[in-house]
């Protein structure tokens, strides 16, 4: 630390929580110190992991004279030192440093129980991991902020505080006058770190760059006129009505839905309960009751290896012990026959088989970087990585038309961890792909339809947020692309995604429940997006940064509550009923006319602009999933827009 740097505030025992699924993992809570520093270039908030501080101190004692950390002994053997250095390197990536004038807002835990935490959000949309104050001190830190910035509490979210642009007169107002804080500490929020390897797939960054090129022209203002946004979106996703406010019209931004009911979750399905659902021949009894129990609480990990085989159509629900044995024998024979097909291709054949070479190269690149932080895949020459590779290559033989598209390794990985068997994992993965193969088609029809459906649902559920997103170049919901593509795989912790997937595989409480889950996540982030006035780029960045911090159980409760609200809404449009698999009213077949007026669009619908957005399909799109064109890992399953009209999908909307 230079002579001109002054520490205004310092607090130890400030933790970042990661990997909370394994209590034995010493890195579940990373200890560190938080500092408020007055530097020549500005006032900075910094957090550094304790081990990293120690390393820095050893290298530059004069810079960290005020840090009281334990020095490492010099007599450790080289292996221990090497291991410690690797651990420090892994923790260093969590260090935080920013100028407080770049701060846009922060979230502070509600005054309930547990450790207080603070989440800082910058003006560019960067959202840092939650800092948990195990020994208190969060209130004192924020009181220091009043010397440099002025804060106001969000009227819509009591946990959210907005930083007002610098105004010397406003600085005279104290935090106490605004009654920002209470003495009690807040909820324990234990999962908030950035996606540790988004850059390895390149998916989100690819989407960001791609959309920026498509939607934001050079030298254009941050916020576009709505008419211009509508013209831009005309080339994007079909079936979207763009809300535009005309002179003399009042923008209505509320839909009078029924109150959201209180939803409760249950406990996981236990081995004893699972056994009670099998009769003497091994047939499943009370299937619907079983699915309801799984939806309500998931499955205890020790029996997932059996139950997932039913959910993923490895076994049929009416099978018995004998038929399952016969089925598995056929599956083993079929799998190794398909595996032999690509294993026995000679080098001379492969030289003349471009599609196989391309898929093989892409799989090899993706496998080496899939879930490597998980113990199941850690280490060099890990045999589980070879199994992962072989299953994906064999799937190319099983599904020639689709082949391999980037993102499939993310879907296979948890399945293999549960099955721990190559053949069983393959057939469960094949069953999963039957559900999701539309996400990976070359023309991206499946993805475009689902993003458009999210827009339709949001238009009814929360027209205010929908209008905000439309007016900030985000009404196409491209920021949900990764969520839908790989079923939230990178938005939740590994153990949580297993629970989420098995809940969704029950197909309860409605069709397309994953779209309602998207609404629930956006509903939780509404205040942050709108009160920070985030634009296109900031929305994308913020949505990316909240990965691994979304509370799963709370999200599932909210999603089910939203569905029940929509289901009870007497004026629910028929197209929304079709999306959710509800009975459609026979006396009202026109889905477009079924939208109520209070949806964030002008009240006078006849005279208001309506965009009939055509679906575009690219003639020259590169995607390895087609089996016809070369691609790179960063291109696979990322290209969204295309050029030719697909009348079949277009008719879906009109």
Give the pLDDT confidence of 593-619 residue by residue, as tens digits. Answer: 444 433 333 333 333 333 333 333 333
Q: What is the mean pLDDT of residues 135-152?
A: 83
Structure tokens at 598: 């209070």
Specify the higher pLDDT residue, 465 or 71: 465
pLDDT for residue 42? 85
- Do 387 and 533 share a domain, yes or no? no
Cβ proximity of 158 and 575 under 8 Å:
no
Query: Judging by beta carbons within 10 Å of its beta carbon (0-12, 13-18, 19+), is residue 607 exposed, middle or buried?
Result: exposed
Q: Which residues contact 633 (CB under 8 A, 6 or more apart)?
A: 201, 202, 362, 365, 366, 406
For the stretch 30-54, pLDDT in tens is: 888 999 988 888 889 999 988 644 4
Residue 643: what pLDDT?
35
Write phi, then psi, for 133 (nearest 5 degrees).
-95, 90
Domain assignment present for 247: no
At 202 the three-state DSSP class reads coil
**pLDDT for position 154:** 81
Torsion angle of C-alpha atoms 508, 317, 408, 303, degrees rounded to 10: 90
341 pLDDT more than 80: yes
Torsions phi, psi of 105, nearest 5? -165, 175
Residue 357 to residue 211: CA distance in whole angstroms: 30
Q: Which pLDDT band holds residue 83 (cuts at 50, 70, 90)?
A: low
Give 615 or 143, the one with higher predicted confidence.
143
pLDDT by residue (tens digit) across 367-376? 999 999 999 9
pTM: 0.67
Identify which of 526, 534, 557 has the alpha carbon closest to the alpha carbon of residue 461: 526
**What percent of the chain is predicted at pLDDT more than 90?**
49
pLDDT score at 112: 58
pLDDT exceeding 70 applies to what percent of the chain? 67
95-124: average pLDDT: 82
Q: What tokens does 260 get? A: 């959201």
Residue 195 has pLDDT above 80, yes or no: no
Q: Would you state the pLDDT for residue 2?
A: 57
* 632: three-class secondary structure by DSSP: coil
What's the number of domains the chain is made of? 3
Please give the backbone phi and psi of residue 423, each rounded to the nearest 5 degrees, phi first: -65, -50
Which pLDDT band holds residue 642 (cuts at 50, 70, 90)?
A: very low
Say if residue 225's pLDDT is above 90. no
Question: What's the pLDDT score for residue 620?
Answer: 37
Same domain, 67 and 160: yes
Q: The sheet that has 160-164: what strands, in order across it? A: 96-99, 42-49, 29-39, 6-17, 131-133, 116-122, 103-108, 160-164, 150-153
* pLDDT score, position 461: 96
Neighbour count for residue 83 (Cβ, 10 Å):
12
Do strands 160-164 and 103-108 pair parallel, antiparallel, or not at all (unpaired)?
antiparallel
Strand pairing class (42-49; 96-99): antiparallel
For position 200, what pLDDT does the model report? 33
Least confidently predicted of 58-67, 261-270, 297-306, 397-406 = 58-67
Residue pointed to by tokens 């697909």: 646
Asked whether residue 193 is domain-assigned, the answer is no
* Close Cβ partners of 271 (under 8 Å, ≥ 6 residues apart): 300, 302, 303
Q: Residues 117, 130: contact at Cβ < 8 Å?
A: yes
Q: Are 125 and 174 in contact (CB under 8 A)?
A: no
pLDDT value for 253: 54
According to DSSP, residue 125 is labeled: S
Boundary (domain end) residue, out of 523, 551, 580: 580
Measure the CA–CA gap between 461 and 599, rounded to whole angstroms. 8
Q: Using CA atoms, how far apart are residues 486 and 313, in angstroms rounded to an integer?
A: 19
Are 380 and 499 in the same domain? no
At 39 the pLDDT is: 87
Continuous segment of H or E residues that includes residue 560 = helix 552-568
Stretch 446-470: mean pLDDT: 95
644 domain-assigned: no
Same domain, 420 and 460: no
DSSP-based three-state secondary structure for 151 = strand
Count CB atoms within 10 A of the CB of residue 349: 10
Question: Quick check: is 186 in a domain?
Answer: no
For residue 166, what are its two tokens? 């610098």
Name the pairing type of β-strands 116-122 and 131-133. antiparallel
Does residue 28 share a domain with residue 131?
Answer: yes
Look up residue 602 and give its DSSP letter.
-
Angle value at C-alpha 632, between 628 and 637, nearest 5 degrees: 75
Residue 275 lies in a domain: no
- Position 504 scores a pLDDT of 98
Spatial distance between the Cα atoms of 173 and 171, rounded to a whole number of angstroms:
5
The pLDDT of residue 401 is: 93
Per-residue model confidence (pLDDT) at position 608:
33
At 16 the three-state DSSP class reads strand
pLDDT at 125: 82
Task: For residue range 470-500, list pLDDT tens digits in order.
Answer: 999 999 999 999 999 999 999 999 999 999 9
Q: Are both 474 and 412 inside the same structural domain?
A: no
Q: Is pLDDT at 438 greater than 60 in this prediction?
A: yes
Domain boundary (166, 195, 217) is at 166
Average pLDDT for residues 325-351, to the nearest whole number? 96
In a domain, 284, yes or no: no
- pLDDT band at residue 430 using 50, 70 and 90 as cut-offs: very high
Instruction: With respect to residue 132, please indicate whether it lies within any of the assigned structural domains.
Output: yes
Confidence band of 273 (pLDDT split at 50, 70, 90): very high
Separation between Cα atoms, residue 236 and residue 477, nearest integer Å: 10
440, 465, 497 - which closes a domain: 440
Same domain, yes or no: 11 and 159: yes
Residue 325 belongs to a domain: yes
The verdict on 453 and 428 lying in the same domain is no
Q: Are 452 and 431 contained in the same domain?
A: no
Q: Is the pLDDT of residue 84 over 80?
A: no
Per-residue model confidence (pLDDT) at position 51: 63
| 488 and 376 in a common domain | no
Give the domain range for residue 469: 445-580
User: pLDDT value at position 468?
Assistant: 95
What is the C-alpha to C-alpha distance for residues 555 and 493, in angstroms, rounded to an integer? 14
Please report, for the domain that includes residue 419, its CATH number.
1.10.8.270
Q: What is the mean pLDDT of residues 347-353?
A: 93
- The mean of the pLDDT values for the chain is 76
My answer on whether 15 and 160 are in the same domain is yes
Phi, psi (deg, nearest 5) at residue 428: -70, -40
Quick one: 523 and 488 in the same domain? Answer: yes
Residue 510: CATH number of its domain: 1.10.472.80
Q: Given the structure tokens 């081995």, which residue do they identify? A: 271
- The C-alpha atoms of residue 45 and residue 38 are separated, in whole angstroms, by 9
Cβ atoms of 417 and 374 within 8 Å: the answer is: yes
Distances (CA, A) of 424 to 101, 275, 501: 54, 21, 17
pLDDT in tens, 374-385: 999 998 889 999
């Amino acid at each position: 630390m230079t002579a001109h740097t002054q520490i205004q505030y310092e607090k130890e025992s400030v933790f970042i929580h990661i990997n909370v699924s394994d209590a034995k993992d010493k890195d579940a809570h990373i200890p560190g110190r938080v500092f408020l520093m007055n530097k020549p270039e500005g006032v900075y908030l910094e957090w550094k992991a304790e081990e990293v501080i120690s390393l820095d101190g050893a290298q530059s004692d004069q810079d960290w004279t005020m840090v009281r950390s334990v020095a490492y002994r010099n007599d450790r053997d080289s292996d221990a030192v090497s291991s410690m250095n690797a651990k420090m390197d892994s923790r260093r990536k969590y260090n935080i440093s920013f100028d407080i004038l770049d701060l846009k807002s922060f979230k502070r835990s509600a005054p309930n129980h547990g450790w207080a935490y603070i989440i800082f959000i910058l003006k560019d949309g960067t959202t840092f991991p939650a800092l948990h104050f195990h020994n208190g001190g969060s209130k004192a830190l924020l009181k220091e902020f009043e010397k440099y910035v002025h804060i106001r509490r969000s009227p819509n979210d009591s946990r959210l505080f907005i930083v007002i642009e610098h105004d010397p007169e406003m600085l005279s107002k104290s935090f106490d006058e605004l009654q920002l804080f209470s003495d009690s500490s807040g909820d324990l929020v234990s999962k908030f770190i950035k996606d540790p390897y988004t850059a390895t797939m390149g998916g989100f960054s690819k989407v960001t760059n791609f959309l920026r090129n498509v939607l934001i022209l050079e030298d254009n203002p941050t916020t576009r006129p709505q008419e211009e946004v509508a013209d831009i979106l005309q080339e994007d996703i079909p079936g979207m009505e763009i809300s535009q406010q005309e002179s003399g019209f009042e923008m209505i931004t509320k839909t009078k839905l029924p109150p959201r009911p209180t939803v409760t979750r249950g406990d996981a399905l236990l081995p004893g309960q699972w056994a009670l659902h099998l009769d003497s021949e091994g047939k499943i009894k009370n299937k619907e009751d079983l699915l309801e129990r799984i939806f309500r609480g998931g499955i205890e990990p020790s029996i997932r290896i059996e139950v997932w085989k039913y959910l993923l159509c490895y076994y049929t629900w009416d099978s018995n012990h004998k038929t399952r044995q016969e089925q598995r024998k056929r599956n083993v024979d079929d799998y190794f026959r398909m595996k032999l097909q690509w294993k026995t291709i000679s080098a001379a054949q492969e030289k003349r088989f471009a599609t196989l070479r391309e898929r093989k190269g892409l799989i090899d690149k993706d496998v080496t970087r899939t879930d490597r932080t998980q113990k199941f895949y850690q280490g060099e020459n890990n045999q589980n990585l070879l199994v992962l590779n072989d299953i994906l290559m064999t799937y190319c033989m099983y599904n020639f038309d689709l082949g391999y598209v980037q993102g499939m390794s993310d879907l296979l990985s948890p399945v293999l961890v549960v099955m721990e068997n190559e053949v069983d994992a393959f057939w469960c993965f094949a069953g999963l792909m039957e559900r999701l193969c539309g996400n990976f088609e070359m023309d991206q029809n499946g993805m475009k339809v689902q993003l458009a459906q999210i827009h339709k649902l949001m238009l009814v559920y929360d027209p205010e947020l929908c209008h905000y997103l439309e007016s900030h170049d985000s009404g196409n919901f491209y920021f949900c692309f990764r969520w839908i593509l790989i079923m939230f795989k990178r938005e939740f912790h590994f153990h949580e995604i297993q629970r989420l997937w098995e809940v969704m595989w029950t197909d309860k409480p409605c069709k397309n429940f994953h779209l309602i889950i998207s609404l629930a996540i956006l509903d939780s982030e509404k205040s942050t997006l709108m009160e920070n006035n985030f634009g296109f780029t900031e929305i994308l960045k913020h949505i990316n940064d909240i990965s691994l911090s979304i509370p799963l159980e709370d999200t599932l409760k909210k999603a089910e509550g939203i569905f029940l609200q929509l289901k009870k809404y007497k004026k629910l449009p028929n197209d929304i009923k079709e999306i959710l698999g509800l009975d459609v009213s026979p006396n009202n077949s026109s889905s477009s006319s079924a939208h109520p007026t209070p949806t964030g669009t002008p009240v006078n619908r006849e005279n208001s602009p309506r965009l009939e957005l055509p679906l575009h399909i690219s003639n020259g799109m590169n995607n390895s999933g087609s089996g016809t064109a070369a691609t790179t890992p960063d291109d696979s399953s990322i290209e969204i827009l295309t050029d030719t009209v697909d009348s079949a999908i277009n008719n879906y909307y009109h």
